[in-house]
Structure 1
Amino acid sequence: MAERNGRTVRDLRRANRTAVLQRLYFDGPLSRFELGPATGLSSGSVSNVVADLVADGLVEEAGSVDSDGGRPRTLLRVAPGSGHMIGVDVGETRVRIELFDLTLTELARAERPLGQRRYDVDVIAGHIRDGVAEVTESAGVDPGRLLGVGIGVPGIVEHTPERGAVVHGQTIGWDAVPLEELLRAGSPLPDTVRYFIDNGARTLGQ
């Protein structure tokens, strides 16, 4: 069923869930009372959205705070274990792979030193693939449930519709290297898991 502006009930539900999750992620823990003004949703909408998110395991209770003369207000937060992500840094001497939960708590880490062939594309792609498999296995995380893999590389990254992220790194001898394509080949991750590949200095700043 579509509304006058073309949005369906599903679109509205998704937007409300996103608004609540964003505020809890960046500003939480928050109470249902605080989520209303923070998201612009009515108290009834907040209650319904929170109930759905709790049932889906995305949000959990995080204690309570006293209210002015009323019952203590329950605080809510994004459930740390409801999502995981991997960060990869391709440095000068090693490739570091780290697995995080949604609170950015490090759950596992793997490092691969770079020897004489330190910027050999196949070597680095292999280190990343092996490191991803190692950290997910070590933490007992299903690779298919990862939210994504962020990779910082030396060089300029071009995002193409045909080949994904292509890296141009003159100083390391990379000329239009289809890194994302190489990582997909033989990867322990399903195609549904996204790669976010960018210049290392930019990813560090973010």
Structure 2
Amino acid sequence: MHARTGRTVRDLRRENRTAVLRRLYFDGPMSRLTLGPATGLSSGSVSNVVAELVADGLVEEAGSVDSAGGRPRTLVRITPASGFMIGVDIGETRVRIELFDLTLTELARTERPLAPSGPRTARYDVDLVVGHLREGIAEVLRIADVPADRLIGVGVGVPGIVARTPEDGAVVHGQTIGWDAVPFERLLRAAVDLPET
């Protein structure tokens, strides 16, 4: 079924889920009643979306607050351990790898130094950087005892311009570090056991 805007019912459901998750993520625990005005959704839509998210394990109950005359309102929040993310920063002197739960609580961190001297292009040798990521990602997952299949994303900050191609994914053009159309995502996926999507 298509709405007049060309969006499908699936698109609308995804947008509603995103709206609820976004509010819970940025505003912390909220009741279903306050989620309605915060998201622009009807109370029925909020109840349906929250029920789906609870069933999927993405949202959990987080206590209650008093109401103005009725029974206490149950708060819901993002389930911290329902997924994990890795953040990578390829900096001037080191590569930092951090593991977070869905509430962005840091669970583990490691750093790998880059050569402090010598030509800049040698410091940022692609194979060296990918090797640091392979070792660092394995280390933070091991420290936090998180299996790789629980990762929902890996974000990499790298000096340069990132383009996306169908065959290589993220390709980095980093003149200052000597990278010219480096198929970084393809290289990373080949070196590290990451979920397919």
Same fold (TM over 0.5): yes
Corresponding residue for residue 65 of structure 1: 65
Corresponding residue for residue 126 of structure 1: 131
1:188 Cα deviation from its structure 2 partner: 1.5
1:68 Cα deviation from its structure 2 partner: 1.2
1:147 Cα deviation from its structure 2 partner: 1.6
Structure 1 unaligned spans of 5+: 193-206
1:87 Cα deviation from its structure 2 partner: 0.4
What's the secondary structure of 1:185's corresponding residue? helix
Measured in 2, the distance between the counterparts of 1:158 and 1:52 equals 35
TM-score after normalising by structure 1 = 0.83
Structure 2 unaligned spans of 5+: none
1:95 Cα deviation from its structure 2 partner: 0.7
Measured in 2, the distance between the counterparts of 1:44 and 1:164 equals 39
1:157 Cα deviation from its structure 2 partner: 2.3
Measured in 2, the distance between the counterparts of 1:129 and 1:93 equals 18
Amino acid at match of 1:56: D
1:77 Cα deviation from its structure 2 partner: 0.9
Q: What is the RMSD computed on CA atoms of the aligned residues?
A: 1.9
> Percent of aligned positions with the same letter in both sequences?
76
What's the secondary structure of 1:190's corresponding residue? coil
Corresponding residue for residue 45 of structure 1: 45
Corresponding residue for residue 190 of structure 2: 185
**Per-residue deviation, residues 99-132 of structure 1 (Å, max 9, x unmatched):** 0011111001111112254211100011012111
TM-score after normalising by structure 2 = 0.87
Alignment of 1:133-144 (within 5 A): 133-144=138-149
Measured in 2, the distance between the counterparts of 1:134 and 1:25 equals 27
Measured in 1, the distance between the counterparts of 2:64 and 2:80 equals 18
Measured in 2, the distance between the counterparts of 1:190 and 1:124 equals 20
What's the secondary structure of 2:123's corresponding residue? coil
* Runs of 4+ that moved beyond 4 A: 6-9
Residues 88, 4 of structure 1: alpha-carbon distance in 2 compared, 3 angstrom cutoff:
closer
What's the secondary structure of 1:148's corresponding residue? strand
Measured in 2, the distance between the counterparts of 1:84 and 1:11 equals 25
Amino acid at match of 2:124: Y
Alignment of 1:147-158 (within 5 A): 147-158=152-163
Q: How many residues align?
A: 191
